[in-house]
Amino acid sequence: MKNGYADLLKKIDLAAQKPFPCDRNSNFGVFYAVHRSDHPAIIKVVSENKEGTLSDLPHVIYISREKSPKHQHHYKAGAMNVLTRVSGVMTNAPLMLNVDCDMYANNPQVFLHAMCIYFGIKNEEDCGFIQFPQAFYDTLQDDPFGNQCANYYYISNGIAAIQGTFYAGSNCFHRRKVIYGSSPNDTKSENIGNEDLHKMFGKSTELRDSAAQVLFGSNEKIEDQKIPSSFIEAAICVAGCRYEYGTSWGKEVGWLYGSATEDILTGLNIHGKGWKSVITSPDPLAFLGCAPTTYPTSLTQMKRWGNGLLEVLFTNQNPLRLTIKGKLWFRQALGYLWICLWGARSIPELCYAVLPAYCVITNSHFLPKINEPAFLIPMGIFLTKNLYALWELKRLGVSVRTWWNLQRMGRVNAMTSWLFSFLSLVLKFFGLSKTVFEVTQKEESSNDGDDRGRFTFDKSPMIVPGVTILLVNLTALVNGMVRLSSSENWIGALGVGEMFCSVCVTLCFWDYLKGLFKNGKYGIPFPTIWKSGALALIFVQLCRRSSQSF
């Protein structure tokens, strides 16, 4: 089967390189002269189970929403809302599974696991959605870029004990009525009239009726099977660009708009209504996907995450607001603040990265001397924090090398990609830029096999802060070594603790240091080095001037 799939993949790649002859009068006539960013809605029923028998295959339907340069599409959130509306018109199933295009079902029992949870709970509010962790089939050994999120899902398991884990945007079973904006034990929906349903869900009568079935609870009778092919015209209507205008889609209904991380925003809204969520990880893993295998791709992904998460704080779904006016638990709000402030972490991380270098250059200190008893306090905190983090991850079967990669890339990402996500958000609020959804390019395992797991660099400006931090700390270390070599009592000399911190920062950027001496794609481009060198020189000069002024 694996060999057969590989052969099929080669045929698809060859077919994609050739122009596709399409006749206007054939079954593929709707694809004639179609541009990917400007075309009408296309819906084709590939196969359908008209008899509704369990032995036959389920419905297979191709959906491509209408695209027009004149209309905002809201990226993934807009696509998910179109899929929700089309499925509501054509099938109206009470449960929906959301899986990204690079994920596949690895466990054939995954639907059984989800159904057992849904139908086994006593209180409906305890299961607004079921999240399966994201895992990857093309994992890099020891996770050199820190993008496989082993520590993230470890924390998510802990948050699951509060009000429920975060919605991760994929591998998730949703209740349709939850996506439709329903609250737990909501009795208000019984008083919703047809006019209100039209304002919420749009002008489609078919969608209004299917939404009423879901919200009023009559959808529990699944005997009335729909034939998708008889609802194509209605489905095309709800997949149009203009359909959402004047409705609650993206505001109160469906996947919410306003952030590039629509998953966190939508999950936060669900928890804010009082729903809880469930996370479960069966054996074997339910879904497997593809993770970025090159460093520039990982940077792009982290920048989009940091930017989108910060945007959540400036929407109506702010965690603190939902705690005061909604039903979000305070401890759950703290969990959401932890993840939403990833981008804002870049500023204190940047300050702490240059603080030791500043102290060494100016011959000052923020730590006690190494021969003072008080030095044991920061050293004890440093050792306790890192040893405890290592012990936690070792319980998950994570190697020491993976732990170190997660630690260092947490610092590197904060001062590179997350810093730019913070700056881009600031520019957006001043009206100087707009949010751009940057799609993460997932590389095939067979391509660029030599680059997998190795740091490659391009001319991205996100690398500049990292190189600058590295050069500043290298300058401080050279300065400190010269001073210590000329000191008779180096143990009592100032700056030993600060030099140790500079060494830690340099180790975090070790791959950047190697990139300074390599050529080609494995080396940092010269324009980036010159820009970083100029910034580092300015910082050093400002440090020396500040020390002279005091």
341-368 per-position pLDDT tens digit: 999 999 999 999 999 999 999 988 899 8
Q: Cα separation of 542 and 31, whole Å?
A: 62
Q: What is the mean pLDDT of residues 376-402?
A: 90
Mention the CATH class of domain 34-291: alpha beta
**pLDDT of 442:** 61
Q: Cα separation of 347 and 356, whole Å?
A: 15
Please determine, for residue 193, whether its predicted confidence score (pLDDT) is greater than 50: yes
Contacts of 448 (CB under 8 A, 6+ apart): 293, 294
Q: Coil, helix or strand for 61?
A: strand
Q: Where are the alpha helices (DSSP H) in 139-204?
A: 150-159, 176-179, 194-201
- pLDDT grade, residue 118 (50/70/90)? very high
* Amino acid making up residue 519: N
**pLDDT of 357:** 94
Asked which of 197-206, 427-436, 494-503 is least confident by mean pLDDT, the reply is 427-436
DSSP string, 471-520: HHHHHHHHHHHHHHHT-S-SSSSTTHHHHHHHHHHHHHTHHHHHHTT--G
Q: Where are the alpha helices (DSSP H) in 221-325?
A: 232-238, 262-272, 295-312, 319-325
Q: Cα separation of 308 and 417, whole Å?
A: 12
- pLDDT grade, residue 158 (50/70/90)? confident
Q: What is the mean pLDDT of residues 277-294?
A: 90
Q: 45: left (phi > 0), else alpha (psi -120 to 50), else beta?
A: beta
Task: Please indicate whether residue 126 or residue 14 has the higher confidence score (pLDDT).
Answer: 126
**pLDDT of 440:** 62
**pLDDT of 107:** 93
Annotated binding site: 76, 100
Q: To the nearest whole percent, how much of the chain has pLDDT over 70?
A: 91
- pLDDT grade, residue 436 (50/70/90)? low
Interhelix angle 295-312/417-429, rounded to 10 degrees, is 40
**pLDDT of 414:** 94
Domain boundaries of the chain, sorted by first residue: 34-291, 343-549
**pLDDT of 222:** 44
- Continuous segment of H or E residues that includes residue 20: none
* Amino acid making up residue 1: M
- Is the pTM here over 0.75, yes or no? yes
What residues are paired with 288 via a beta bridge? 104
* Contact in structure between 498 and 479 (CB atoms under 8 Å): no
Residue whose token pair is 């940092």: 524
Contacts of 461 (CB under 8 A, 6+ apart): 420
Structure tokens at 28: 């593929």
- pLDDT grade, residue 219 (50/70/90)? very low
- pLDDT grade, residue 447 (50/70/90)? very low
Q: What is the mean pLDDT of residues 274-294?
A: 90
Q: What is the mean pLDDT of residues 478-490?
A: 77
Please determine, for residue 189, whether its predicted confidence score (pLDDT) is greater than 70: no
Structure tokens at 95: 């449960």
> Greatest CA span in the chain, whole angstroms?
91
* Contact in structure between 440 and 297 (CB atoms under 8 Å): yes
Structure tokens at 344: 């804002």
Please determine, for residue 450, whether its predicted confidence score (pLDDT) is greater than 70: no
91-108 per-position pLDDT tens digit: 999 999 999 988 999 999
CA separation, residue 37 to residues 67, 72, 182, 260 (Å): 5, 11, 33, 19
Taking residue 53's Cβ as centre, other Cβ atoms within 10 Å add up to 8
Annotated binding site for Mn(2+): 76, 100
**pLDDT of 146:** 84
Task: Please indicate whether residue 68 or residue 148 has the higher confidence score (pLDDT).
Answer: 68
Please determine, for residue 22, whether its predicted confidence score (pLDDT) is greater than 60: yes
- pLDDT grade, residue 143 (50/70/90)? confident
Structure tokens at 68: 């027009």
**pLDDT of 446:** 44
**pLDDT of 187:** 63
Q: Coil, helix or strand for 361?
A: helix
